[in-house]
Chain A
Amino acid sequence: DGGITQSPKYLFRKEGQNVTLSCEQNLNHDAMYWYRQDPGQGLRLIYYSQIVNDFQKGDIAEGYSVSREKKESFPLTVTSAQKNPTAFYLCASKASGDHNEQFFGPGTRLTVL
């Protein structure tokens, strides 16, 4: 998990509330990603950013928003519009170049009460 931090590790939210998950990397990577992990479904891409001040929707972007104001940071907001937000959220980053692998943070487990 080295080089990428996610906070908090556990997060509890009441229905109808927005919540922001933090992701910071000190690897000087250009690209950053947010994934959602549910049991038996692998990882699904929510949003990704290939450069500062730019980001694209992934496969399941509805109910989520992101920003990329700094190279090191890529926060994810889970809005009240996300119908089933309880999941394990993983952030990743990657150096430029198609052949480079993604490095993952330790994850944040979000539970909606």
Chain B
Amino acid sequence: AQSVAQPEDQVNVAEGNPLTVKCTYSVSGNPYLFWYVQYPNRGLQFLLKYITGDNLVKGSYGFEAEFNKSQTSFHLKKPSALVSDSALYFCAVRPPAAGNKLTFGGGTRVLVKP
């Protein structure tokens, strides 16, 4: 069965420092991978996705993610974090045979301190 792991419940970073949120997956075949962000009491907002092609994907708000097939990872990164980036981040995977269903990781809370 497919699964997604976000090994860190929370990531703390100082404003201006690089931010990394980790995601690893376990699926067969070549999955589609997604990152979403959630602010308190709000729905999820799409950040970026990997479908095929270049392993480095650029998305909204200065975020990017690197797909690493050998390590089955899709870590989210931002070169310089802002206080406003403080939120809950979710990684999700759609295996090739899953139709339209996504499997989500448990989420990572990011706290950016001034």
Binding site for B on A (CB under 8 A): 1, 4, 6, 31, 33, 40-45, 48, 50, 58, 88, 90, 92, 94, 98-99, 101-107, 109
Q: In whole angstroms, what is the CA distance A50 to B106 when docked?
A: 25
Secondary structure of the B side of the interface?
loop
Instruction: Check A107/B32 contact, CB under 8 A, given A31-B100, A45-B101, A58-B101.
Output: no
Whether B100 lies near A40 (C-beta < 8 A) is: no
> Within residues 19 to 66 of chain B, which ones have a CB less than 8 A from any CB in chain A?
32, 34, 36, 41-46, 49, 51
Q: In whole angstroms, what is the CA distance A58 to B100 when docked?
A: 11
Q: In whole angstroms, what is the CA distance A27 to B44 when docked?
A: 16
Across the interface, B34 reaches (CB within 8 A) one of A40, A48, A101, namely A101
Whether B100 lies near A98 (C-beta < 8 A) is: yes
B104 within 8 A of A: yes
Whether B43 lies near A90 (C-beta < 8 A) is: yes
Question: 5 tightest CB-CB pairs across the interface, nearest first?
Answer: A104-B43, A104-B44, A42-B106, A43-B104, A42-B104
Q: In whole angstroms, what is the CA distance A42 to B9 when docked?
A: 11
Whether A42 lies near B107 (C-beta < 8 A) is: yes
